[in-house]
């Protein structure tokens, strides 16, 4: 009975060890895979952003004088020409001021004539030594004062006339009125800042987008680069433009440094309106008719059984096909049991080198090293098969495993 007590635990331990040794093989036999297929297609590298549509040249029109708006001649969406009358200010007060200034000028001119006569008379008397030098000097000073007073009065009249000219608000450019901020009868004050009355967009057939691109992506943006965008009112329609300027002034948005990128857009059909929000994709690179792999195959994590089966081939292919700059680090990773795991076995590969699992023609597990080109959220371009044995479109690639029931 005592021997039985000792023998039973030993048998259980031996059975456990044997199970653990053969478990990977048992799991490998049970494995069933899900697949994705290589396909031919086009792929683009994109930088996404949002921006606001604006007219390329927009002018704010205001008034330099305070007063009441007598008449408005332009409204929203009106086409106007340069010099066209947009609005008039009430002139009653200005005309009254002009009459007063002109009357004051008449008084000043009368005083000037009187001072001139006295000066000329005193000058003759002084030359005959009839009056003193002091009397002549006073007469001369009074005449000079009258001359200056006339100049001031003339300037006052001229100023009021110029101000009356400002009462006619005209368009500085030819374009479209996109905003009117005032109404007839409204009083505006120009004491501290010019009141905005109209906004005129010069040419809405050509517009621009001001897009904010963060510092991690701005290096990919170049002048002349193609940009594709959509607006909310036409979500299924793609519009296109070109980068015309990358502004160097940094702008902080939520503690992230951004740079403003200007995209020129043709708007011949008039579908785009100022102020619309554009969802932009800057096309930094694109290729056509290349072999593409679904990223699920690159993200696939093998289990312990697969790692054990594929390890000899990984070592052989790494020594043969991987570049010298990364070969040793990768071999070191897969040679250490603590590093050779489903999560870490590709960790030492750079971002442009990757690999995937597949079944070969004999149904044996295989692994292929590849060089990645353009990568999006769903697919990646296969630039090169490092073993120089390319695969065809439609080849089945492992992207998942499931246990057989």
Q: Taking the domain 59-90+167-197, which CATH number applies? A: 2.40.50.100
What confidence tier does 25 reach under pLDDT thresholds 50, 70, 90?
very low
Summarize the confidence of residues 177-184 as an average pLDDT.
90
- CA-to-CA distance for 50 and 230, rounded, in angstroms? 10
Whether the Cβ atoms of residue 397 and residue 294 lie closer than 8 Å to each other:
yes
Name the token pair of 106: 């008449």
- Asked whether residue 379 carries a pLDDT value surpassing 90, the answer given is yes
CA angle 133, 138, 139 (to 5 degrees): 100
State residue 10's pLDDT score.
52
CATH code of the domain made up of 47-56+201-287: 2.40.30.170
Question: What are the extents of the domains in the chain?
Answer: 27-42+291-403, 47-56+201-287, 59-90+167-197, 91-166
User: From the CB of residue 318, how many other CB atoms can be counted at a distance below 10 Å?
Assistant: 23
Q: Are 378 and 46 in contact (CB under 8 A)?
A: no
CA-to-CA distance for 323 and 93, rounded, in angstroms?
A: 87
DSSP of 278-342, one letter per residue? EEEEEEEEEEEEEEEEEHHHHH----HHHHHHHHHHHHHHHHHHS-HHHHHHHHHHHHSTTT-ST
Neighbours of 323 (CB within 10 A): 11
Using 50, 70 and 90 to split pLDDT, how confident is the model at 403? low
Contact 86, 74 (CB under 8 A): yes
Q: What is the pLDDT of residues 257-302, one digit of tens each?
A: 999 999 999 999 989 999 999 999 999 999 999 999 999 999 999 9
Share of the chain above pLDDT 90, in %: 56
Note the pLDDT tens digit of each residue in 144-169.
998 999 899 999 999 989 888 888 99
Architecture of the domain delimited by 91-166: Orthogonal Bundle (1.10)
Residue 358 pLDDT class (50, 70, 90 cuts):
very high
Average pLDDT over residues 50-73: 90
Query: Is 47-56+201-287's fold the same as 91-166's?
Result: no
Report the SS3 class of residue 33. strand
CB 371 within 8 A of CB 1: no
């Amino acid at each position: 009975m005592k021997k039985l007590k000792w023998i039973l635990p030993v048998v259980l331990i031996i059975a456990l060890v044997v199970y653990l040794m053969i478990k990977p093989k048992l799991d490998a036999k049970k494995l069933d895979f899900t697949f994705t297929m290589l396909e031919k297609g086009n792929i683009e590298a994109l930088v996404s952003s949002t921006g606001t549509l604006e007219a390329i040249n927009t002018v704010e029109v205001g008034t330099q004088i305070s007063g009441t708006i007598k008449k408005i001649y332009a409204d929203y969406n009106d086409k106007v020409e340069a010099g066209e009358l947009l609005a008039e200010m009430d002139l009653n007060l200005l005309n009254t001021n002009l009459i007063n200034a002109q009357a004051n000028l008449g008084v000043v001119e009368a005083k000037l004539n009187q001072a001139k006569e006295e000066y000329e008379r005193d000058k003759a008397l002084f030359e005959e030594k009839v009056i003193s030098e002091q009397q002549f000097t006073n007469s001369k000073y009074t005449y000079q004062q009258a001359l200056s007073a006339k100049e001031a009065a003339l300037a006052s009249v001229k100023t009021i006339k110029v101000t009356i000219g400002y009462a006619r608000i005209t368009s500085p450019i030819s374009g479209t009125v996109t905003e009117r901020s005032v109404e007839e009868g409204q009083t505006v004050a120009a004491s501290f800042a010019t009141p905005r009355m109209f906004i005129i967009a010069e040419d809405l057939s050509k517009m621009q987008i001001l897009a904010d691109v963060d510092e991690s992506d701005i290096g990919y943006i170049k002048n002349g680069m193609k940009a594709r965008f959509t607006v909310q009112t036409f979500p299924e329609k793609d519009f296109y433009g070109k980068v015309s300027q990358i502004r160097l002034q940094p702008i902080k948005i939520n503690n992230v440094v951004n740079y403003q990128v200007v995209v020129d857009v043709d708007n011949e059909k008039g579908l785009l309106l100022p102020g619309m929000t554009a969802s932009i994709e800057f096309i930094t690179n694109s290729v056509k008719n290349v072999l593409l792999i679904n990223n699920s195959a690159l993200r696939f994590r093998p289990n312990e059984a697969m790692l054990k089966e594929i390890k000899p081939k990984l070592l052989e292919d790494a020594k043969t096909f991987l570049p010298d700059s990364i070969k040793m680090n990768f071999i070191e990773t897969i040679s250490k049991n603590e590093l050779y795991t489903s999560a870490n076995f590709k960790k030492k590969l750079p971002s442009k080198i990757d690999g995937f699992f597949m079944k070969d023609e004999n149904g044996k597990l295989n692994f292929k090293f590849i060089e990645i080109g353009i990568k999006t959220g769903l697919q990646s371009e296969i630039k090169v098969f490092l073993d120089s044995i390319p695969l065809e479109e439609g080849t089945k690639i492992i992207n998942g495993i499931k246990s057989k029931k």
